Chains A and B, each alone.
Chain A
């Protein structure tokens, strides 16, 4: 997802008996659905995991501005240009809300950004794929935002108050993102043969990376079990991926698009679609920095940050001058 493979540092998920009294009280609050707030006592592992998860999520929003930002200047109509610009701007806003949520845990935005730029922090693998045609704007909104919403709606109920509140705001704003993507696909499928081919090509390229957003199968993962116990991961990767496939297949059928998976078929008994397995090698390799655009995306972010350093310095310098003058005048 936007936060894939979050390390918890856990070797084994502790039982209640193995916990200290503080940890027991903490776990009892989570089990009772009471939100944990920034200043409350929390296990160090919980704090660290949250910082990792929320900052990954924030980085994904910020880096995620770039693949779509790539088409703002070339949008084919002024209406589509407005919508795309507003959407990419929203993603910046979502990054900002999430950095703020992480900052309540005592880590600065600057530190998180430095970690991203130094390659120490991850962001979602999906944003390392190139956007080659306008139809990719449709596919990203429809599939990538669709996948994000599936993941984020449960996070509105996660155990950490500031994260849950940021997610509520984000989900509210994001409701138009998926629809605008699907709307682009509808227009393309009503259009010329070239536009229809563009739409199918985009689905072909984005389908598997979108399913990879949910991460590898985590039935056996200690990290997932620990995060589940802490109430910051509410469903397994496989459950969410299944939900994505189940909701997307009929949407593709409605558009008249074919999903590029020969193993895809409805399973009457399970009441779900069966589908092929994601390529684990590709997933890990993109996550580790070998995707088609990893280096470019990060380089763009680093350049923006470094080019802006003199500007941020100027803001601070001016504010200090102003405060000093006000002090003298008083």
Chain B
């Protein structure tokens, strides 16, 4: 009888502490409104959040694992972007 499966949605929740929305999992729902209700019922049973995003899984564009080296390795050599690259004299404070 069932011909089509309910589509998959990804759920992101922002916790009380003001951090950015974080991916918490996925669920099935017919459309956005229903995905929102389901996300509330499935992923906030323990007071986990103050804001919910739902996104159709099919809409997420992900980087390819094959591109890992060209995408991410070049950043490895830019050590000067990190504060620890610059040793400060012990007697200099608040920097």
Contact = CB atoms under 8 A, between A and B. Distances in A.
Interaction A to B: yes
Interface of A: 37, 39-41, 89-90, 93, 96-97, 100, 103, 108-110, 166, 169, 173, 309-310, 312-313, 315-316, 318-319, 322-323
Interface of B: 1-6, 8, 24-31, 34, 42, 45-46, 62, 64-65
Contacts of B62: 39
Nearest to A100: B26
A233 to B, nearest CB: 23
Given A309-B1, A315-B34, 12 more contacts: A37-B65, A39-B62, A39-B64, A90-B45, A96-B25, A109-B5, A110-B2, A169-B24, A312-B6, A313-B1, A315-B29, A316-B3
A310 B1 contact: yes
A323 B4 CA distance: 16
A175 to B, nearest CB: 11
A135 to B, nearest CB: 27
B4 A97 contact: no
A39 B65 contact: yes
A319 B27 contact: no
Contact of A315 (B24, B25, B30): B30
Contacts of A37: 65
Nearest to A104: B26
A286 to B, nearest CB: 31
Given A103-B8, A108-B5, A309-B2, A319 B65 contact: no
Contacts of B30: 315-316, 318-319
12 contacts: A39-B62, A39-B65, A90-B45, A93-B42, A96-B27, A100-B27, A103-B8, A310-B1, A312-B2, A315-B6, A319-B31, A323-B31
Nearest to A311: B2
A173 B26 CA distance: 17
A103 B2 contact: no
A103 B27 CA distance: 10
B65 A41 contact: yes
A315 B5 CA distance: 10
Contact of A169 (B2, B6, B25): B25
B72 to A, nearest CB: 13
A23 to B, nearest CB: 16
Given A37-B65, A315-B34, A110 B5 contact: yes
Nearest to A86: B45
A109 B29 CA distance: 13
Task: Name the residue in B27, B30, B31 with the highest tally of chain A Cβ atoms < 10 Å from its Cβ.
Answer: B30
Contact of B45 (A93, A315, A318, A322): A93
Nearest to B2: A309
Contact of A313 (B3, B45, B64): B3
